[in-house]
């Protein structure tokens, strides 16, 4: 099975976490001259939480990591393989607009020039079905 292209035809990274914590996300490499945007989305859920890493047409790179008590893994589209999520900006999970999937990449230089946008980055908690 070929790896699906990120951010096309409804395909986006889905991060599944266990326990409370935060997803940290940076959107960088603006093609419109914008500053990088960095922020967190927090969950207090003791069980499983799923996050959708979305995109903005003005950025070409999206990096994220999990800062929480439990484990975290991510997948893209309907891929059967799950990848572990990075645990710091020095070892972040990265998805490029051109479809490159990069694991454990150092994006600390991108973060140092970013504007803080907690609860306003392109990452969303997927509601649980009841």
Give yes or no for residue 10 having a pLDDT over 80.
Answer: no
Instruction: Say how many Å lie between the first and final Cα of the chain, rounded.
Output: 32
36: nearest Cα among 60, 65, 15? 60
Taking a C-beta distance cutoff of 8 angstroms, is the pair 39, 114 a contact?
no
Q: Who has greater pLDDT, 118 or 130?
A: 118
Q: For the chain, which residues make up each domain, given as ranges?
A: 13-126
Lowest mean pLDDT among 12-21, 55-64, 84-93: 55-64
Separation CA 3–CA 122 (nearest Å):
22
* Mean pLDDT computed over 113-119: 91
Confidence at residue 7, expressed as pLDDT on a 0 to 100 scale: 72
Give yes or no for residue 5 having a pLDDT over 80.
Answer: no
Encode 67-92: b = buried (16+ Cβ within 10 Å), e = exposed: ebeeebbbebbebeeebebbbebebb
Give yes or no for residue 1 having a pLDDT over 60.
Answer: no
Task: Give the H/E segment covering residue 112.
Answer: helix 108-112
Summarize pLDDT for 57-81 with one digit per residue, the tens.
889 899 999 999 899 999 887 778 8
Beta-bridged to residue 22, according to DSSP, are: 42, 67
- 83: CB partners within 8 A, 6+ apart: 73, 74, 75, 93, 101, 103
Separation CA 46–CA 24 (nearest Å):
18
């Amino acid at each position: 099975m070929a790896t699906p292209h990120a951010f096309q035809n409804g395909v986006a990274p889905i991060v599944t976490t266990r326990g409370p914590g935060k997803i940290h996300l940076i959107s960088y490499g603006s093609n419109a001259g914008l500053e990088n945007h960095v922020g967190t989305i927090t969950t207090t859920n003791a069980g499983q939480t799923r996050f959708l890493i979305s995109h903005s047409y003005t950025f070409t790179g999206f990096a994220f990591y999990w800062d929480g008590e439990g484990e975290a893994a991510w997948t893209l589209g309907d891929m059967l393989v799950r990848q572990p999520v990075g645990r710091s900006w020095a070892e972040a999970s990265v998805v490029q607009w051109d479809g490159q999937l990069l694991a454990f990449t150092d994006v600390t230089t991108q973060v140092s020039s970013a504007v803080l946008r907690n609860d306003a980055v392109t990452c969303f908690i997927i509601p649980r079905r009841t």
